[in-house]
Chain A
Amino acid sequence: MAINLAGGGATVRKVRRARLIPLWALILGALVMALIGTSPHYAGTDSYVVGLIGKFLCFAIFALSVDLIWGFAGILSLGQAVYFGIGAYMVALSMKLNYTLENATRYGGNIPDFMEWNGLTEVPGFMAPLLSTPVAVALALAIPTLLAFIFGVITFKRHIYGVYCAVITLAEALILERFIVEYQAYTGGFNGITDYSNLRGAPFLWVIIAVTVVCFLGARVLTHSRIGTVLKSIRDNDVRAEFMGYNVANYRIFVFCISAFMAAGAGAMYAAWVGIVSFLDTGPLLSVEAVIWTAVGGRATIIGPFIGAFLIRGLEFVLSGLDIELAGRSIAEYWQIFMGALFIAVVLWIPDGIVGTIGNWVRKRGTGTLGQIREDQDRLAHDRQHDWDPAGATKPGEERV
């Protein structure tokens, strides 16, 4: 039964559901993934580039997790690396414990070297479950999700979001980072966890690719479903979403947990692939970096975080390899300045990111002549001005801070 809401006009606009994946994207994606997956065979399993690709894929999933909450639900978390890091540490600890069981350290002990340095003689009891790989993986995924749930219940249920949420998550990441450095007997401290037999090479790369594809599809299904529509409405105007009868807090908690789960999975694979985990992988820096990958690639698009992560990380890698001097300093030293400028530029000039900007452009080209486009834009701007106020309508007697 179609109800004509427009009144008078005969046509009811049909909502066309997007296909799960457009055919061209499927083919392109399969090609890229095959290229990446077979890279160990022609580039060599131990080649640096193959190592980087696996790493970048993990970062891309991590960025996707940021995109889910920031791009689609409007929650800016500056501490997403907490979940990434906990996942990574769980797996790294498990692998390290198992590794040292078989390979004694330099001092002959069968416990991780950092425990030995700190005067422990045996693996502490609470770490014993980590010896079993399935348990470790389960914990690596479950603990961050649970943490995210608790955090979500505390904050979102009390209407704490936006800037407050960003600042609190930032502090969370900073404190976890310090905690790991302080309790070095259990976490490896400043040096992190190194020297364990990480999974390198084609088989595990295929695992990473499979997980990447699953995350990609999962995110696509989620954001194109009803839930995704509600999330977007919450992002654009949470007051109205609440008026429509949606439980805004629960939607936020849900997507936050999904995102934490994804980040934890990325972290777990990262630890297994790279073979070194340090406190930096849990800190504010990585968190903010993931946000900027998302922003550069294109927020509220699913392929954007992938492109952003690969582009920025790849560029960093290329630049650090170059041997060019600029004003007496190697060009790699300017990388940070470039990153800082990128933060500003992406906010000021390309808020939609690369993918979003290209998408807008394509859409505009598809809509007709230049005059029509301009007319459309004018109307859109007019609508926005009257219809859309990010802070919500101000009620009398209320102050805007």
Chain B
Amino acid sequence: MLQQLFMQSLNGLGVAGILVIAAAGLAIIFGVAGVINMAHGQFIMVGAYVAAYVDSQGGSMFLAIPLAFIVVAILGLVVERGVIQWIYDRPLETLLATWGVGIIIEVIMKFIFGTLGQKVGWPDLLDGSIKIFARPPHFPYYRVFHVALAIAIMAVTFYIIYRTNFGLKVRAVRRNRSMAGCLGIDTAKIDMLIFMYGSGLAGIAGAVIAPIKAATIDMGFSYAVSSYMVIVLGGVGNLLGIPTGSFLIGEGETLLAFRYNTVIGQLLVFLAIVIAIRVFPRGIFGYQERR
């Protein structure tokens, strides 16, 4: 029993890893530009289909990840330039417009790939598991991979935001947009680049989710909603909010799903989040009472 609990909490860590990858892009966009991208789930889905396409052409997973990043970042660029750049000052309506974008992406993908799901294989390297205990369940390598990739993505993001010239501008825009504009920073360009980067991360999320779930048209939505919850719980005041929120939600859902079932797990975690935001209205790492 204890052994199973331990394995489940390790699995929860893997789930949290996926959540970090899926939520990081969303949180950065929300943190800097103040908009939530309702098409995030569809961006994840596009990333998964890129992985499926690479797989069907005989390419490796490790080729699919950067390709998914590039493809979805370009998609994000199109969406940002086409729709979102006009409505940054109306965050609620951005939700509606991006929801529409999501619908359109979904239909186009359905037209291209059909409604059937596409299987994606793991590279041989990740086929196997760490045998912590003699008896199964073992801890599969791909979970390790998810956690490692999540850490890598957070590290890269941290480096970009806190250690580069570009990141300095991003933080300036985020602190005080009009002042940053006065100092000659092209805020629209910062928004655009951040949106591209965040979208690209969604693509990576899709590419690594695809092998465990198969690429389907509606796969992204539940990850997107979990990512929104990560933002609500973790907050966007600080980059640490993403891993914290993901860890709590991933572990909570996995352990409760193990104890009861998936739906009860999600329900209880949701209730816990709703109660938690009474204590942390802007998330655990949010600005206090920032308006």
Question: A residues engaging B (CB < 8 A)?
Answer: 74, 76, 78, 151, 154-155, 158-160, 162-164, 166-168, 170-172, 174-175, 178-179, 182-183, 239, 284, 288, 291-292, 295, 329, 333-334, 336-337, 339-344, 346-348, 351, 390-392, 394, 398-401
Complex Cα–Cα for A74 and B93 (A): 11
Q: Is the CB of A348 within 8 A of B86?
A: yes
Complex Cα–Cα for A281 and B281 (A): 30
How many A-B pairs with Cβ below 8 Å? 141
State whether the Cβ of B174 lies closer than 8 Å to any Cβ in chain A: yes
Complex Cα–Cα for A334 and B261 (A): 38
In the complex with contacts A164-B232, A170-B228, A392-B291, A339-B95 CB distance below 8 A: no
5 new A-B contacts at CB < 8 Å, known A333-B107, A340-B100? A179-B267, A344-B83, A398-B291, A399-B175, A400-B177
Binds A, one of B9-17, B50-58, B270-278: B270-278
Residues in B76-93 with C-beta less than 8 Å from chain A: 83, 86-87, 89-93
Complex Cα–Cα for A172 and B102 (A): 20
* Per-residue contact bits, chain B 24-68, to A (CB 8 Å; 1 contact, 0 not): 000000111011100000000000000000000000000000000
User: Main SS of chain B's interface residues?
Assistant: helix
State whether the Cβ of B101 lies closer than 8 Å to any Cβ in chain A: yes
Chain A neighbourhood of B19, CB < 8 A: none
Complex Cα–Cα for A292 and B232 (A): 24
Complex Cα–Cα for A329 and B275 (A): 48
Which of B90, B96, B106, B273 counts the most A-chain CB atoms under 10 A from its CB?
Answer: B96
Q: Interface residue tally of chain B, by bracket?
A: 35 or more
* Per-residue contact bits, chain B 117-142, to A (CB 8 Å; 1 contact, 0 not): 00000000000000000000000000
B95 CB contact (under 8 Å) in A166, A182, A390: A166
B100 CB contact (under 8 Å) in A159, A341, A394: A341
Name which residue of chain A comes closest to B175, CB basis: A399
B36 CB contact (under 8 Å) in A167, A171, A343: A167
Chain B neighbourhood of A178, CB < 8 A: 262-263, 266
Top 7 A-B pairs ranked by shortest CB distance? Answer: A343-B100, A340-B103, A340-B104, A182-B263, A167-B228, A347-B97, A340-B100
* Per-residue contact bits, chain B 224-237, to A (CB 8 Å; 1 contact, 0 not): 01001101100010
| Chain B nearest Cβ from A310, distance in angstroms | 20
Chain A neighbourhood of B100, CB < 8 A: 339-344, 347
Q: Is the CB of A163 within 8 A of B99?
A: no
Name which residue of chain B comes closest to A393, CB basis: B291
Chain A neighbourhood of B34, CB < 8 A: 163, 400-401
Q: Is the CB of B281 within 8 A of A162?
A: no
Q: Is the CB of B278 within 8 A of A167?
A: no
Name which residue of chain A comes closest to B82, CB basis: A344
| Chain A nearest Cβ from B15, distance in angstroms | 16
Complex Cα–Cα for A284 and B218 (A): 13
B281 CB contact (under 8 Å) in A76, A160, A291: A160
State whether the Cβ of B113 lies closer than 8 Å to any Cβ in chain A: no
Name which residue of chain B comes closest to A160, CB basis: B281
In the complex with contacts A158-B277, A174-B222, A239-B291, A295-B96 CB distance below 8 A: yes
Chain B neighbourhood of A162, CB < 8 A: 91-92
Chain A neighbourhood of B231, CB < 8 A: 167
In the complex with contacts A341-B104, A400-B176, A347-B87 CB distance below 8 A: yes
Chain B neighbourhood of A342, CB < 8 A: 100
Chain A neighbourhood of B35, CB < 8 A: 163
Between-chain CB contacts (< 8 Å), 11 pairs = A158-B278, A288-B96, A340-B101, A340-B102, A344-B83, A347-B90, A348-B86, A400-B34, A401-B32, A401-B174, A401-B287
Chain A neighbourhood of B111, CB < 8 A: 329
In the complex with contacts A182-B261, A401-B290, A343-B281 CB distance below 8 A: no
Chain B neighbourhood of A151, CB < 8 A: 274
Which of A160, A292, A343 counts the most B-chain CB atoms under 10 A from its CB?
Answer: A343
Complex Cα–Cα for A291 and B90 (A): 16
Name which residue of chain B comes closest to A389, CB basis: B89
Complex Cα–Cα for A291 and B89 (A): 19
In the complex with contacts A179-B263, A182-B263, A400-B34, A171-B89 CB distance below 8 A: no
Chain A neighbourhood of B30, CB < 8 A: 163, 401
| Chain A nearest Cβ from B13, distance in angstroms | 22
* Per-residue contact bits, chain B 248-277, to A (CB 8 Å; 1 contact, 0 not): 000000000000011100110010011101
Complex Cα–Cα for A163 and B273 (A): 16
Which of A171, A175, A391 counts the most B-chain CB atoms under 10 A from its CB?
Answer: A171
| Chain B nearest Cβ from A174, distance in angstroms | 5
Chain A neighbourhood of B273, CB < 8 A: 168
| Chain B nearest Cβ from A384, distance in angstroms | 12
In the complex with contacts A163-B36, A175-B267, A337-B103, A399-B97 CB distance below 8 A: no
| Chain B nearest Cβ from A176, distance in angstroms | 9
Chain A neighbourhood of B107, CB < 8 A: 333-334, 336-337, 340
Chain B neighbourhood of A183, CB < 8 A: 263
| Chain B nearest Cβ from A183, distance in angstroms | 8
Complex Cα–Cα for A162 and B232 (A): 12
Complex Cα–Cα for A394 and B179 (A): 12
In the complex with contacts A167-B231, A348-B97, A399-B176 CB distance below 8 A: yes
* Per-residue contact bits, chain B 141-171, to A (CB 8 Å; 1 contact, 0 not): 0000000000000000000000000000000
Chain B neighbourhood of A155, CB < 8 A: 274, 277
| Chain B nearest Cβ from A200, distance in angstroms | 32
Q: Is the CB of B101 within 8 A of A344?
A: yes
Chain B neighbourhood of A166, CB < 8 A: 36, 92, 95
In the complex with contacts A155-B277, A167-B228, A398-B291, A351-B103 CB distance below 8 A: no
Complex Cα–Cα for A182 and B229 (A): 21
Chain A neighbourhood of B281, CB < 8 A: 158-160
Complex Cα–Cα for A175 and B273 (A): 13
Q: Is the CB of A336 within 8 A of B31?
A: no
Q: Is the CB of B266 within 8 A of A76?
A: no
